[in-house]
Structure 1
Amino acid sequence: MQYLYPNQDLTGYRQIVKVGEDLEFCGFELLRLDAGKSFESETLDEEAVLVILSGKCDISVNKKEYTNLGVRKDVFSGNPTSVYVPVKSSFKIREAQGLFAEVAIVTAKAEKQFEPFIVMPEDVVCNNRGILNYKRDVRDIIVANGEGKVHRIIVGETINYPGHWSGYPSHKHDVYNPPYETKMEEIYHFRIKPEGGFGVQVMYNEDLSLRKAYLIKDGDTVILPEGYHPIAAAPGFQVYYLWVMAGEHGRKLLPREDSKLSWLNNVGPLIK
């Protein structure tokens, strides 16, 4: 099975992960627009979140206009601006600054139709999670705030400090076993700062029938249909990743930690 989708330095639209083929519930597309260029599409049986990675855009959804969106020069420069697009909707994205804009289009299989809405940078819920060398910054774009407003999709961003891990202690969400674990697919899309660096995506399961590690470069994408999936940033480099999750059993996050690492949860109280 293909898990790693390497970066392709292309301008325009690229579908990277297709719902119903690469994964059952999650999809990922990337849009790179030169000055004044635009892109139009429709969602059909998927809901989507348009996350502005850099630049400024005008976005319309079912003729509802959102203008001059986007405040950051790159993904490391503050919170994103995002727009939710329901199923069976048309949308248009136009570069609005006369420079360059990049937009991630994350999607999830959906049946229920809701209203479009915008998530401004100040609406993003930010947390600093972890301790020691697995401390990271997490930005929830549409997570708890999406209840009653979206069907399945969950979206956010994480930034690893240089030399630090995230998704650690390792967790997974590939078995439906409430209240201990839920089943959700996930996609990561990565950026590295400075660009010449790298991160490492680890993937494994209980019996090690899945046991992989990928060298992650700027612009790469990884799908996570199963297994534990921690990430490490090489010393000297920050690792950013956009994440999208979806599954058939609702939106409540119930990850299961690797029991062999659970002792690490006792470290935090000891050093505080």
Structure 2
Amino acid sequence: MINEWFHTAGTLARDGFDSVVDARIEGWAHTGFRSVTLGDASGLAVPSAPAGATAEDRLPTSVDLPAAGVERVIVPLAGETFTVDYTLSDGTTGSQELTGRTSVFHGPADCLYLPTGASATLSSPAGRIAVAEAPTEETRPVQFMSAAEVPVELRGSGISSRQVHNFATPAGLDCVKIIACEVITPGGNWSSYPPHKHDEAIAGSESRLEEIYYFETAVSRGCRAPAEADPFSLFSTYSSAAGEITTSATVRTGDIALVPFGYHGPLAAAPGYDNYYLNVMAGPDEERVWLISDDPAHGWVRDEWEDFEFDSRLPYETSKEK
């Protein structure tokens, strides 16, 4: 079915969270994701709220993450301050303050890694926060990474220029399974391109990874859009030998695309509208590594990047106002 693996904002709302992806979705096993809006949502740069709520509603200022057999990475999406109070599986307790950002288009934010078996309470007077998850029985220590420590990568060139925050890739936090990053694509540019896949275990060239895309969209920096402007992007997936999948979707803030297998990309940010997505990946392979195979029909495009200049609009940083 077309868009079988695509979920519009609010359709995955559950248990006080704006969205929840976990093994309760049929055919999904290796990754998880949660997003939640806390407190006064009216002042957030890109507001969202659970189904039935509006941006003007004052929501609960805290939400609980129950203990479970999953490791977690917690990252603010929008809002100034957040507190994570946690209890580890051995009874050890702790608390970590996280500094957020104006929006996901204003540079990286602080993030926190919690090992499997931990429970936590997330609190903020006004903010939105995301949680990446992956089942595992192995443990790692609690890890804090400040926004200034997040590895920022400028990838591609020309209209394929994009900005990547590698906060939970192997270059960032030491996770057991989770590979997570944020990608900023300015209006008119393409990312997740060339289309690629990671659904076979081929030593040294491809790894098996489920992937979650959580999207946000906004009017591009410097544009003076009318109040009725409707930021959007386009996203697609298509089948590989591992399975049949077809996504051909218009994406907006809060939408989620799941990629259990198959080729995915491109993400095309419409002119005038910037795109953000948070990727969460994990899989059954023993090694935590992101190895991909380009669609043979399109992989040649990478070689063309050397002939174009990188988009001067990037990087998007916290200090730059929209």
TM-score, normalised by the number of residues in structure 1: 0.91
Cα distance, 1:155 vs structure 2: 1.0
- The alignment status of 1:120 with 2:131, answered yes or no, reads no
Cα distance, 1:131 vs structure 2: 1.6
Q: 1:269 to 1:13 in 2, by over 3 A?
A: closer
- The alignment status of 1:196 with 2:211, answered yes or no, reads no
* Aligned residue number for residue 179 of structure 2: 154
RMSD (Å) for aligned C-alpha atoms: 2.2
* Aligned-partner residue type, residue 267 of structure 1: E
Q: 1:265 to 1:89 in 2, by over 3 A?
A: same
* Aligned residue number for residue 106 of structure 1: 132
Q: 1:186 to 1:152 in 2, by over 3 A?
A: same
* Aligned residue number for residue 83 of structure 2: 58
Q: Determine the C-alpha separation between the residues in 2 that align with 1:266 and 1:117.
A: 37
Number of residue pairs matched by the alignment: 267
* Aligned residue number for residue 137 of structure 1: 163
- Flag structure 2 segments of 5+ consecutive residues without an equivalent: 41-59, 88-92, 220-228, 310-322
**Consecutive aligned runs of 4 or more in structure 1 exceeding 6 Å deviation:** none
* Aligned residue number for residue 226 of structure 1: 261
Q: Determine the C-alpha separation between the residues in 1 that align with 2:205 and 2:65.
A: 39
2:189 paired residue among 164, 180, 202: 164
* Aligned residue number for residue 239 of structure 2: 205
- Aligned-residue identity in percent: 27
- What are the superposed Cα offsets for residues 28-47 of structure 1, whole Å, 9 maximum, x if unpaired? 11111115711222241111
1:29 paired residue among 29, 34, 38: 34
* Aligned residue number for residue 99 of structure 2: 70
TM-score, normalised by the number of residues in structure 2: 0.77
Cα distance, 1:217 vs structure 2: 1.3
Tell whether the 8 Å contact from 1:111 to 1:151 is kept in structure 2 after alignment.
Answer: no
- What are the superposed Cα offsets for residues 53-101 of structure 1, whole Å, 9 maximum, x if unpaired? 111111122221112x223111111112111111111111111xx4x11
Cα distance, 1:13 vs structure 2: 2.0
- Alignment partner of 1:265: what SS? helix
- Flag structure 1 segments of 5+ consecutive residues without an equivalent: none
- What are the superposed Cα offsets for residues 124-144 of structure 1, whole Å, 9 maximum, x if unpaired? 111111122111111101112
Q: Determine the C-alpha separation between the residues in 2 that align with 1:20 and 1:151.
A: 22
Q: Determine the C-alpha separation between the residues in 1 that align with 2:307 and 2:9.
A: 42
- The alignment status of 1:42 with 2:66, answered yes or no, reads yes
Q: 1:43 to 1:156 in 2, by over 3 A?
A: farther
* Aligned residue number for residue 121 of structure 2: 92
Cα distance, 1:17 vs structure 2: 1.1
Tell whether the 8 Å contact from 2:164 to 2:184 is kept in structure 1 after alignment.
Answer: yes
- The alignment status of 1:237 with 2:237, answered yes or no, reads no
